[in-house]
Amino acid sequence: MPRPRTTSDSDILAATGRAIGAHGPGRLTLAHVGAEAGVSPATLSQRFGSKRGLLLAFAADAAADAAAPYRRARDVHDSPLAALHAVAEEVAGHMSTPEEMANHLGMLQLDLSDPEFRAHAAAHTRAVDEALRELLCDAAAKGELPSGTDVPSLARAVKITIDGSLLRWALTGDGEPAALLRDDLDHLLRRTS
C-alpha cells in the first residue's frame, strides 16, 4: 500500500515557482525544487516524470489559476480599480530582484520556443485578458471609468503597462516595483478619464 502524500502537488508547484525565481528554468534541477518543497527529487520524478514534466505541470497550473488574483482582489475590494491596483501589487510582490525577474522570464523562452509550453502560455494570457476586461467593465459600470471607454483596448494597455513597468524596473533597478507599477497604472487610467 503506498504511503499517503504529505506534500500536495499544489505545494510542489508553488515551490517550483519559487525555485524558478531563484535559479531560472534552465539551471533548475529537481533537487532545487525538492529542497524548496521538502521532498526528494525521486518523489518529484515519481509524480511528474521529469524536470520537463514538472515544468509543464507548473505552466498548466499557472494557466488554470491565472484569474485567481483578480477573483481574490474583487472579494476584498468594492472598487474595481482598487482591485486592479491590488492585483498589480501582488504581481509586483513576486519580483524582489532583477535577477529573480530574469529567472522568471526564462520561462518565456520556453513558452515561445516549445509548442506544449506555448499552449499553456496562451491559455494564461487569455485568462488574464478576460479577467482584466471583466474588472474594467465593472469599473465602467460603477462610474470609475468614463462611459464609452474602449474596455478591450484599455485592458490590453493595462497588461502592457504591468509587464512593461516590471521589465523597466528590472532593467534599471530604480525604485520599488509595486510603487512604480502603481504610478504607471495611475498615469494610464488618468489618461482615459
Give ranges for CATH 1.10.357.10 in the chain: 66-192
pLDDT of residue 95: 87
pLDDT digits (tens, 9 = 90+) for 95-137: 889 999 999 999 999 999 999 999 999 999 999 999 999 999 9
State residue 173's pLDDT score.
Answer: 86
Q: Which pTM does this prediction carry?
A: 0.90
**DSSP string covering 70-138:** HHHHHHH-SSHHHHHHHHHHHHHHT--SHHHHHHHHHHHHHHHH-HHHHHHHHHHHHHHHHHHHHHHHH
Residue-wise pLDDT tens for the chain (193 aa)? 455 568 999 999 999 999 999 999 999 999 999 999 999 999 999 999 999 999 999 999 999 999 999 999 999 999 999 999 999 999 998 888 999 999 999 999 999 999 999 999 999 999 999 999 999 999 999 999 998 999 999 999 999 999 999 999 999 988 899 999 999 999 999 987 6
pLDDT at 192: 79
Catalogue the long-range contacts made by 160-164 (C-beta closer than 8 Å, 24 or more residues apart): 161/185, 161/188, 162/88, 162/91
Q: Tell me the torsion sign for CA atoms 30, 33, 39, 45.
A: negative
Spatial separation of the C-alpha atoms in residues 188 and 156, rounded to whole Å: 11
Could you give the CA distance from residue 127 to residue 65 in angstroms, rounded to a whole number?
9
| The pLDDT of residue 153 | 96
* CATH 3.10.180.10 holds for 66-192: no
**For residue 6, how many C-alpha atoms fall within 13 Å in the half-sphere facing its CB?**
6
Cell 532593467 appears where? 171
Q: Which of 17, 55, 9, 15 is nearest to 35 (CA)?
A: 15
Measured CA to CA, the distance from residue 118 to residue 85 in angstroms comes to 28
Fold type of domain 9-61: Arc Repressor Mutant, subunit A (1.10.10)
